[in-house]
Amino acid sequence: MTIQTCADLEGVSRAAAALFVTKAREAVADRGVFTVALSGGHTPLRTYQLLADPDVSEQVPWEQVHVFWGDERFVPTSDPRSNQRLARRAWLDHVPIPPSQIHPIPCTGTPREAAGRYEALLRTFFSGDPPRFDLVYLGLGENGHTASLFPETPVLTEQRRWVAEVYVPEEKLFRITLTAPCLNQAAVIAFLVSGVEKADIVREVIEGPRDPQRLPAQLIQPIDGELIWLIDQAAAAKLCRRW
């Protein structure tokens, strides 16, 4: 595990954008394709805006980039809560990535059906092999959730499915999420965390006792990959160790 502490959210965002560029160029040079799974929420918004900036965008081999999502709220694309909508408006609509290489989570039919369709897409894309994304962006909720892996939900014990549906009572809606076994196949997983309100949960997840039912972010442990925390000084303030 690597922890990179940045001054503020802008620093976190610039580090995350730079990581994207580096890993995209490396993957394309090595295999001719780069795969990324995106996070929702507000923290990655600035990262997405930076990736749309011409000075950064021109460094990315967009013709070989495939974009997926780590999770999605089961709402129409037009809904302001949609993770796909946020990424498209801030970034994907402004770069020359082929539309066929943007792979959003479907939000039609039932949540179970939608999860099944996305898993089928992943199995086809990765030829049935474990879905080894080159890069996964994740956030961290104040309750310890990441992607849509929420505390004390059945999805936390899922071992066979790559994609699952989960009902979130406080939001009164379903979400679709990649499962921990799926996410942990990635080559690089980067948590993006900012703000003093995240300091307690950052300390618990990184330095506290293992309790993944209460702190699902602790389930994220790449099997054969790299785990990176990009956090600002406010979010890192209560860490005891010097990482």
Q: What proportion of the chain, given as a percentage, has pLDDT over 90? A: 95
The residue-averaged pLDDT of 146-158 equals 97
- Mean pLDDT, the chain, as a whole number? 97
In a domain, 241, yes or no: no
Domain count across the chain:
1
Domain with residue 138: its CATH number is 3.40.50.1360
| pTM greater than 0.85 | yes
pLDDT confidence of residue 230? 98
- Residue 241: pLDDT band with limits 50, 70, 90: confident
240 occurs within a structural domain: no
So what's the pLDDT on residue 243?
60
Name residue 58's amino acid.
Answer: E
CA-to-CA dists, residue 83 to 110, 154, 175, 218, 229, angstroms: 18, 22, 11, 23, 21
Q: Which of 150-154, 169-173, 175-179 bottoms out in mean pLDDT, i.e. has the lowest?
A: 169-173
216: in domain: yes
Using pLDDT thresholds of 50, 70 and 90, give the confidence band for residue 128.
confident
Is the model's pLDDT at 242 over the cut of 80? no
Its domain, for residue 162, covers 2-232
Rounded to 5 degrees, φ, ψ at 29 are -65, -35
Looking at the domain assignment, is residue 242 inside a domain? no
Residue 88 lies in a domain: yes
pLDDT in tens, 62-99: 999 999 999 999 999 999 999 999 999 999 999 999 99
pLDDT at 41: 87
Taking only the tens place, the pLDDT of each residue in 11-62 is 999 999 999 999 999 999 999 999 999 999 899 999 999 999 999 999 999 9
234 pLDDT above the threshold of 80: yes
Q: Is residue 149 a part of any domain in this protein?
A: yes
